Amino acid sequence: MGFRQKKAADESSESDSSKGGSGDTTLPIASWYDLFSFLGTPRNELLFVFGCVAAALNGLVYPILAMLFSTSFSDLGGASDGMSEITSVALSFVYVGAFAFAVATLQSGCLEIAAAQAATNFSQQWFSAILRQDTAFFDAHDVSGLASMIGASSRKVRRGLGRKFGEGIQFGTCFVFGLAYAFYSSWRV
């Protein structure tokens, strides 16, 4: 949630509570721009982009494995000298495994570092916004509840921009390219 939205929501809840309202206001959902604005520095934005590219490449692993399995059975079945075919198939799986390890490490490393920094920026900006409030705000809101909300929301930002965002890209890419390979290999579906 952007701080402009939070400030507007706080002002509306203050006016509601002064009118005798319940003060139970649901806050609007943050936009993607607001969420990505917490990345802050160009270094974090670059890490985030590298992590997203690595997630997309990681999503290609399962369609590549499907292609490798389908070709390996036909290669091994029609081989006259079985040992050279087995060696080439085994090396293909090792190469795909090394590729998967490299891109999965890049995906999780880059996205987690960027998400941790975004969560820190989020907490600092939220805390600064709370400190700018006048004393009437603290009369209407529970101060200890605000501190726990900062921590919980910061963890959500970190989880959402880190692992979950990467997995969304990874599995979306896997779905699209898996479906494309399925249609490419056989139209009888």
**Predicted local distance difference test score (pLDDT) of residue 39:** 79
**Predicted local distance difference test score (pLDDT) of residue 19:** 45
**Predicted local distance difference test score (pLDDT) of residue 159:** 83
Using one digit for the tens of pLDDT, what is the confidence trace for 14-71?
Answer: 444 444 444 456 767 777 676 777 777 888 888 888 999 999 999 999 999 988 988 8
Pick the residue with more confidence: 121 or 51? 51
**Predicted local distance difference test score (pLDDT) of residue 14:** 47
**Predicted local distance difference test score (pLDDT) of residue 100:** 95
DSSP-derived secondary structure for the chain: --HHHHHHHHHHHHHHHHTT-----PPPPPPHHHHHGGG-SHHHHHHHHHHHHHHHHHHTHHHHHHHHHHHHHHHHHT-SSHHHHHHHHHHHHHHHHHHHHHHHHHHHHHHHHHHHHHHHHHHHHHHHHHHTS-HHHHHHS-HHHHHHHHHHHHHHHHHHHTHHHHHHHHHHHHHHHHHHHHHHH-S--
Using one digit for the tens of pLDDT, what is the confidence trace for 136-168?
Answer: 887 787 777 777 777 777 787 788 788 888 999
Rg (CA), the chain: 25
Neighbours of 98 (CB within 10 A): 10
**Predicted local distance difference test score (pLDDT) of residue 79:** 63
**Predicted local distance difference test score (pLDDT) of residue 21:** 43
Interval 170-186 mean pLDDT: 91
Chain centroid to Cα 105, Å, comes to 14
